[in-house]
Structure 1
Amino acid sequence: MADMEEDMEHEESETGQLLPQHIPTVSSRRYLVLTAFSLLSFCSAAMWITFAPCLYIFVLFFFDHVSTATTNAINSMSAIYMLTYPCFVFLSFRYCKDPPDGPVGYGLKRGIILGASLTAMGGFFRFVGALPSQLGFVLVFAGQTLAAIGQIFIIGLPSRLAVAWFPHDEVNRATAVAVSANNLGIAAGFVITPLMIHEETAVVDIPRAMLYQFLFAFGCVILAMVGFARYPPQRHFLAQDDGAESDQVPVWKDVNFLYLVSAFGIINGVQNAIPTLLAQTILPVFGHADEATVGMLGFYMMIVGIPSSLLTGWYLDRYQLYSFTCRSLYAVTVATVIIFHLALEVGSFWLMTVSSILFGIFSWAIMPAIFQYAGELFYPLNEVISAGWLLGSGNLLGMLFVLIMGAMESSAGYTMRYANLFLISVLVVGMWHMWTVKGQLRRASALQGGSNG
C-alpha cells in the first residue's frame, strides 16, 4: 500500500546496528488500529467494574447473606485486577518486545492479540459461572482472573501504540483517545450494570449480562486481528527494544523516575479505590440513594474524564508543557477529593456529586499526560516498560488502598470518614512527588535533531 511506503536512510549505531533515520509517511490505517485497541480497552475496563455498582445484589446472588466476608469477596473481583498487574506486568515487557529477527511492531501486535484472547476467555468463564452458588462465584472469579491477566497486555500500551502508529504531532491525542476508552468502559460498566441487573430478577439478569460481555469481548478479538494485520510505519522514534531490560536498572536509579512512579501510583490507586468502594461510601450517608444512584455517579465520574483527557492531549501536542500540566492537574485533583470528603461530612448530596464529577475531570486528564511525560523524560526506554511500571504502581497501591479503607470502615453514619482522610493524606504526598519531578524532554529533542539531520 502507498501509505505504508517509507524512504529510509540508515546510520550505524555504536553497536553496529543500523538505525532508521527518517520521518515515515503517515498510515491511514492508524485509525482502525486505534479503534480496535480502544474497544478492547473499553471491554476490559467494563469487565473490571461490573460488580462494584451492584455490590449487594451480587453478594446475595452468590452467598445469600451480607457480611464483611461476603462483601469483601465481591470486592475481590475488582481487587484481582489491581493485584495481577504489578505481579505479572514484567511478562508484558518481554512478550511485547520485538524479536531480533521479526518486523518492528510485531511485539505490540502479539501483546494486544494475547490480551484480547485472554479477555474473551475470561468472559466465557464468567458466563459459565453465572450461577447462584459459591461454585458459581469460584468460576466467575477464575474468569475475572483471566481477564485481569489479559489487561496486563492492554492498559500499558497506549503510549507505545501512539508512538508506533501516529506522527509526533498526534501522539498525545492518540494516547488520550486510547486512555479515554478505558475510562469510557468503566463509565459504561457503572451505568449499564444497574440497568441490566435487578435484585428481584438477578437469577436471569446476571447470566444475560455476562453473556453480552463475553460476546463483546469475542468481537474485540476479531477486530484486533483485523486491525493489527499490518505493522506500524512510525519507526523512527519508537524506542528500541534491544537492551530494554538492562535499561531498567539505570532508570530505577533515577530519582525523577521514582518520584513519577510514586506520584502516578498514588493518583491511579485513588482512581481505582474510589469506584470500587463507591457504594460503601455514599449509600450509608444518603438514605435515598440506591445502586442506580451509585451507577450513575460512577458513570458521570468516568465519562467527564474523556473530553478532559482529549483536551489535555491536544494541549500537550501544541505546547509540550508536560511538567506544568501534570502539576496543575494533580493539585486540582487533591482539592476535589477534599471537597468530596467535606460534602459527605455535611451530608450534601449535590456537593458530593459536583466534587465527584470534578474529580473525574481532572484526575483522568492527568493519565495520558503522565504516560507521555514518562516517554519524553526517559527516552529511549521502551514505552511499554515505563507505562508498565507506572500502572503497576497504581494497581498495587489501588489494591492496598481498598484493603486499608475497607479495614477503616466504621459501623454507622459516614462509615468511610477515616478512609477518605487517609486518601487525602496520601494524595498530598503524591502531589509533592509530582512537583519534584524534573528533566529534559529527550524524545522531543531527538525528534528535533532527527528532523534537522
Structure 2
Amino acid sequence: MEFQEYKYRWVILLLYCLAEAMNAMVWITCSSITSVISKTYNVSTFAVALCSLVYMIAYIPLVFPSNYILDTYGLKAGTIIGIGITTLGAWFHVGAYDNFWSILVGSILGGIGQPFLLNAPAKLAAFWFRPNTRAIATTIGSVSNPIGIAIGFGLPGIIVTSSKSKEEIGNLMLVEACLSTAVCISCIIFFKSKPKTPPSNSADMKREEFLPSMKQLLKNKNFIMLFIFFAMGQGALNAFATLLDQISKPYGFSSSDNSLFGALVIIFGLIGSGIAGGIVAVTQRYRISCLVIAFGSLGGIVAFLAVLPLESTLWSAIFASVLGLLLMPILPVSFEFVCEVTFPIGEAMSGGFLNWGGQIVGIAEVGLSYLLSNQAIIVGIICSSGILLGGLCMVFVKQDLRRTNNDKVHNLNNELHYEGLVSMLSGELTH
C-alpha cells in the first residue's frame, strides 16, 4: 500500500485543538476568581474549587467508555461527544447571572465531556500524520489544553473587574458559551475520523481489543513507570492550577495577579512544549527529556512557592514562567513516549490511562492541601514530593520505541522489495 499525507490533516488538528481548548477553558475559568465567586454567591472557596475538582473526579470512571468510543467509533464520534457536552455545560454556566449552582452543574457536564477530548491527541497524530511529524502533531494537540487554560485564566481578569458582580460573572460565562458553540458547530460540519489512505504502516495496523490491551498495559514495566511519572507531574499541574488563588491570596496578590501568573505558566509552557516536542521529533530521546522535565520542574515549583512571601508580582511572574517552561512539556513528550512503549495498543487507551493517573493524583493533592490548610509550603511539599517520585520512576524506564521500529522495518521491507523488482526487471531486459 502507498501511504499518503493529506493537507486536510491541519484542518482536523485545528478543529481538535479548538475543541480541547474550549473544554479546558470551561474547566479552569473559576480558579483565578475563586475569592470573587465565593463572596458574590456566598459560598465557600471549597465549593468553588469543586468546579475544577469535578473535572478530575468525572474523568476517573469515564476514561474507560471514552477510550472505547474513540477506538471503536473513531475520532469524530469522540470529538463531537466531547465538545457537544462541553458546550451544554458552558450554557449551564450562563446561569451565573442568577446562582452559583448552575456553574457547578455546568462544570460537571464539562467534566463528562473532557475524557473524549483529552485522550485523543496521539491517536489523531497517528491516524493523520507521517512518523517524522507525529511528535510535532501530538505536541500541538496536547498543548491545546494549556491554551484553553490560559484563556480560562485570562478572560476572567478582563471581564470580571469588580469584587462582587453577578452580571460580570454572567457576561464571562456567556462569552465562553458562544465561543464553545461556534467550535462545536464547526466540528460537526468539518471533522473527520481518518483520511482515505493511512500515512504510515502503524496507522494502518489493527489495534488491540479493549480488555487484552488493559492486561498488556498492566504487564508492561515501562508503562507502569511512565504512568507514575506522568501522574505525579500532571497531578501537580492540576493541583497548582486549582489552588493558585488560595495559595497566593495570603501574600496580597489579587485575582488579576493570579490571572497573570496562570497565563504565564501556560504561555511559557507552550514555548517549553514546542522546544521539547521539536527535540524528541528529531532525536527521539524521550527518556532523557522526561528526566529533564521531572527534575527541572521540581526546582521550578519550589522556586515559585519560595518567592511568594516576597509579595513581589515581578518575581512571582518570573518564576511562574519558569515553572510553566519546565513542567508543561510533560504532556507532549509523555503522550508520544507511551505510544511508543505500548504499541500496538490504541493511542487513546495508553494516553487515556496516563491522564487517568494525573486526575487521581490531582484530586488527592488538592484534597490533602485543603485538609492541611492550603498554605504555600504545604502545597509545595505535596507537589514536589510527587514530582520527585515520578522522576525516580523514570530512571527505570527503557527507551523501547516499538512503533518507530515497526515503521522502520516496514519501510526497509518495501525498499528491499522495490530493489528486488528493479533487479529482476533489469535482468530480464538484459536477456
Q: TM-score, structure 1 length as denominator?
A: 0.87
Question: Match for residue 354 of structure 2?
Answer: 390
What one-letter code is carried by the residue in structure 2 that aligns with 1:341?
L
The one-letter amino acid of 1:344's match is: L
Decide which of 259, 262, 279 is 1:295's aligned counterpart: 259
* Partner-residue secondary structure (3-state), 1:37: helix
2:404 counterpart of 1:450: no
1:116 aligns with 2:83: yes
The CA deviation at 1:118 is 0.6
Conservation of the 8 A alpha-carbon contact between 1:345 and 1:417: no
Counterparts in 2 of 1:349 and 1:130: CA distance versus 1, 3 Å = closer
Give identity over the alignment, percent. 25
SS, match of residue 292 in structure 1: helix
AA of the residue aligned to 1:41: E
From 276, 291, 303, give the equivalent of 1:339: 303
What is the Cα deviation at residue 349 of structure 1? 4.7
* Pair 1:148 & 2:108 matched: no
In structure 2, the partner of 1:101 is none
Q: Give, in angstroms, the shift of residue 416 of structure 1.
A: 2.5
1:440 to 396, 400, 403: 400
Name which of structure 1's ranges 52-61 and 263-272 shifts more when overlaid on structure 2: 52-61
For 2:48, which of 74, 87, 91 is the aligned residue? 74
Structure 2 unaligned spans of 5+: 414-431
Matched, 1:25 2:8: no
What TM-score results when the alignment is normalised by the length of structure 2? 0.91
CA distances 1:149-171 after superposition (whole Å, capped 9, x unpaired): 11110011101101111111111
- Pick aligned residue for 2:275 from 287, 301, 311: 311
Please tell me whether the aligned partners of residues 333 and 363 of structure 1 are also in contact (alpha carbons under 8 angstroms). Answer: yes
Residue 240 of structure 1 deviates from its aligned partner by 2.5
> What aligned pairs does 1:86-235 form with structure 2 within 5 A after superposition?
86-98=60-72, 106-127=73-94, 129-132=95-98, 136-199=99-162, 202-229=165-192, 231-232=194-195, 233-234=197-198
Q: What is the total number of aligned residue pairs between the two structures?
A: 410
Q: 1:229/1:259 Cα in 2 relative to 1: closer, same or farther (>3 Å)? A: closer
CA RMSD of aligned residues (A): 1.7
What displacement does 1:203 show? 2.1
- Equivalents in 2 of 1:359, 1:241: separation in Å? 37
Structure 1: give runs of 5+ residues left out of the alignment.
1-7, 9-21, 99-105
What is the distance in 2 between the residues matched to 1:170 and 1:32?
A: 15
Are the aligned partners of 2:97 and 2:167 in contact in 1 as well (CA < 8 Å)? no
Q: Which amino acid is 1:421 matched to?
A: I
1:321 correspondence with 2:295: no
| Structure with greater helix percent | 2
2:213 is matched with which residue?
Answer: 247
Distance 2:379 2:330 in 1: 23
The separation in 2 between residues aligned to 1:338 and 1:57, in whole angstroms, is 27
Work out the CA distance in 2 between the residues paired with 1:241 and 1:447: 15
With over 3 angstroms needed to count, the CA separation of the structure-2 counterparts of 1:54 and 1:194, relative to structure 1, is same
* CA separation of 1:30 and 1:417: change in aligned 2, threshold 3 A: same
Residue equivalent to 2:232 = 266
Whether the 8 Å contact between 1:405 and 1:416 is mirrored in structure 2 is: no
Question: What residue in structure 2 maps to residue 60 of structure 1?
Answer: 39
Q: Secondary structure at the match of 1:53?
A: helix
